Amino acid sequence: MPELYVGLMSGTSLDGIDAIVADFGGTGIRLLHGHYQPFQPRLRESLLGLHDEGRNELHRAATLANQLSHAYAAAVRTLIAQAGIKPAQIAAIGCHGQTVRHRPDAGYTLQLVNGARLAELTGITVVCDFRSRDIAAGGQGAPLVPAFHHALFHDAGRHRVIVNIGGIANVTDLPPSGTVTGFDCGPGNLLLDAWIMESMGKPFDENGAWAAQGKILPRLLDALLAHEFFRLPPPKSTGREAFNLAWLKRTLSGTESAVDVQATLIELTARGIAHAISDHCGEAREVFVCGGGARNQALVSRLRELLPGVGLDATDALGVAAEWLEALAFAWLALQALHGRPGNLPGVTGAKGPRVLGAIYPA
């Protein structure tokens, strides 16, 4: 029998909502349909403003959680209408929520969504707040997708690495046998998007075309790579608290060409990923890339240069389009929660043990 779940992901890039519906019935995982819904500019700016300390934060966070829930509900309605599915056929929605604080060092994380309101708006059971239980168990609360990567892509005859390039980049090491590991390895699209918006008024650098016109600035690259996060051993996770436009601007002298800064940021992302793979992923010879960064040709080309002898492709080659994989992971995490099965990997997050993740709001 079909077992249908919706997955919702809005990541650190703050561009919009990825929504998928998948069937976990039978023996496999089938992605049935995907829908992308961009954030309204005012909502995006309000969310971005909440990343910094400011006045009346509690009220702003609560009202934005409600606004997000309405946006998530609209995405779900469009998704299932396009897929020809009724709400009653969906077992649950797995919603990551919008991260505005991630402080495992202080014992908390905050992903905005009003799960109760989303359940009321859609008439579908909602599972959200996936990171908190892992942090309560002593983990980083992120990345959470490696458990799904293992379930979907592990091959007993091949050593694979899955690289997710969203706002933040993370890697999942899938050896043929032994412990699965994974961790955040630095900025993905976050700084690239922020800088082109600052410089050109564009939300992202399509295919990395603008960056490809510039040249890498060695002094700037060295200064960026000096960030303490790159020296931390796994398990580790990060976010806008560490990597943001203000941090980048403090590193600039003010004389750099804007396009050269963009080229240097491509190199920063590529170096963070490549070093993570070469330093921590053993003899892996297959790398598959997902997330929005998988479509950045300049970035992917540079990764190929930095990883000679390693086959590199998008997860499309494994049967799942790169842009939908993370939303699909949160549909799977909702499935795990409803069935009472763990959704984390202690070897990835550093938690004391496997834990069932997520708060459940029944329809």
Q: What is the mean pLDDT of residues 336-344?
A: 97
Q: Rounded distance, CA 69 to CA 57, Å?
A: 18
Residues 69 and 180 in one domain: no
Residues 308 and 351 in one domain: no
Judge whether residue 1 has pLDDT over 70: no
Q: What 3-state class would DSSP assign to 161?
A: strand
CATH of the domain at 20: 3.30.420.40
Query: Residue 26 has what pLDDT?
Result: 80
pTM of structure: 0.94
Residues 268 and 356 in one domain: no
Residues 158 and 82 in one domain: no
**What b/e sequence results for 57-78 when a residue is b if at least 16 CB atoms lie within 10 Å of its CB, and e otherwise?**
eeebeeebbebbbebbbebbee
Q: What is the mean pLDDT of residues 78-87?
A: 98
Q: What is the mean pLDDT of residues 153-164?
A: 97
Q: Rounded distance, CA 162 to CA 169, Å?
A: 11
Structural domain boundaries, residue 255: 147-322
Residues 87 and 181 in one domain: no
- 282-330 pLDDT tens trace: 889 999 999 999 999 999 999 999 999 999 999 999 999 999 999 999 9
Q: What is the mean pLDDT of residues 73-82?
A: 98
Residues 354 and 262 in one domain: no
In the chain, how many domains are there?
A: 2
Residues 54 and 196 in one domain: no
Judge whether residue 113 has pLDDT over 90: yes
Q: For residue 38, report the phi and psi dihedrals to the nearest 5 degrees.
A: -70, 150
- 5-21 pLDDT tens trace: 999 999 888 899 999 99
CB-based contact 179:203 (threshold 8 Å): no
Residues 123 and 193 in one domain: no
Query: Residue 316 has what pLDDT?
Result: 97
Residues 192 and 79 in one domain: no
Residues 316 and 329 in one domain: no
Instruction: Give 33: exposed, middle or buried? Use CB within 10 Å, 0-12, 13-18, 19+.
Output: middle
Residues 115 and 205 in one domain: no
pLDDT-above-90 percentage for the chain: 94
Residues 155 and 51 in one domain: no
Query: Residue 28 has what pLDDT?
Result: 84
Q: What is the largest CA-CA distance in the chain?
A: 62
